[in-house]
Amino acid sequence: MGYVDQVAPNLAGLLRRDAWWMGWNILLAWIPVGLAWMLFRGRAVSRSPLWWAGLVLFALFLPNAPYVVTDLVHLRNDIVLSDEDGPVVTAVLPVYAVLVGSGFLAYHLALGAALRHLGRIGLGAYRGRAAVAVHALCAVGIFLGRWARLNSWEPVVAPQATLERIVLQLTWSRAPILIAGTFLVIWLCHFMTRAIADAARDAVVKGARRVQGLLAPYDKGFTPG
């Protein structure tokens, strides 16, 4: 990190403080994408125990993708530790934007794969309601992860203790408000991510078609005289 120290010392300091937990949370956010690729790439519905086990893991790990938005609780501390306003704009805010954007891109890709699979098996009419249900379940998962400090693997390795913690946290008087607010944040961020991703995809497709059109005359070759 010596070069970064010379060019952007504030960025280097931020990475030293936050690189481990940011990298870990990004890794957890992208695990559902890998699971979705394995679970939902085929047309046929597999009913094997291994497939169902993978689906359970997918459901447990999916909240980790939008969970990154709660990491903004660390933003204030990193702003305070910055020396000037400049490094906040050029170092702190871009790093957090990458963190949150990466998590919601992973969420968009994983959820999109699951919803497309519903269409392939004849349940496409339920995709809208399924998306809302997934947002709601992820809101509950994020609430349990942030406030109960519950990890995705704990329901598997310690089911009884996990159930007790879940009941305790969900009966908290502020739980419905926090879950509802988290649901709105997930819905809004997913909507924005999907819009940006669709716009980027359309731009790439248009650009590819334009390049193809420019190269078309050369593909025909020359007719000898």
Whole-number mean pLDDT of the chain? 84
Task: Give tens-digit pLDDT for 1-18.
Answer: 554 444 455 666 777 888
Please name the residue that has the structure tokens 């990458």: 98
Is the predicted pLDDT of residue 121 greater than 70, yes or no?
yes
> When comparing pLDDT for 122 and 215, which is higher?
122
Lowest model confidence (mean pLDDT) among 66-75, 113-122, 209-218: 209-218
The amino acid sitting at 177 is: I
Question: What gap in Å lies between CA 80 and CA 89, rounded to an integer?
Answer: 13
Q: What pLDDT, on a 0 to 100 scale, did the predictor assign at position 7?
A: 40
pTM of the model: 0.82
Q: SS3 of 154, please?
A: helix
- pLDDT interval class at 85 (50, 70, 90): low
Question: What gap in Å lies between CA 136 and CA 105, rounded to an integer?
Answer: 18
Is the predicted pLDDT of residue 116 greater than 80, yes or no?
yes
Is the predicted pLDDT of residue 31 greater than 50, yes or no?
yes
Q: Pick the closest to residue 75 from 114, 17, 26 (CA basis).
A: 17
Is the predicted pLDDT of residue 170 greater than 60, yes or no?
yes
The amino acid sitting at 59 is: A
Q: What pLDDT, on a 0 to 100 scale, did the predictor assign at position 3?
A: 41
The answer to whether the beta carbons of residues 138 and 62 sit under 8 Å apart is yes
Question: What gap in Å lies between CA 70 and CA 225, rounded to an integer?
Answer: 70
H or E element, residue 151: none
Mean pLDDT of 55-75: 92
Q: SS3 of 86, please?
A: helix
The amino acid sitting at 135 is: H
Is the predicted pLDDT of residue 139 greater than 50, yes or no?
yes
Mean pLDDT of 29-41: 93
Q: What pLDDT, on a 0 to 100 scale, did the predictor assign at position 43?
A: 63
Is the predicted pLDDT of residue 68 greater than 60, yes or no?
yes
Whole-angstrom distance between the N-terminal and C-terminal Cα of the chain? Answer: 62
Q: What pLDDT, on a 0 to 100 scale, did the predictor assign at position 5?
A: 45
Cα–Cα–Cα angle for 120, 130, 35, nearest 5°? 65
Lowest model confidence (mean pLDDT) among 67-71, 122-126, 191-195, 211-215: 211-215
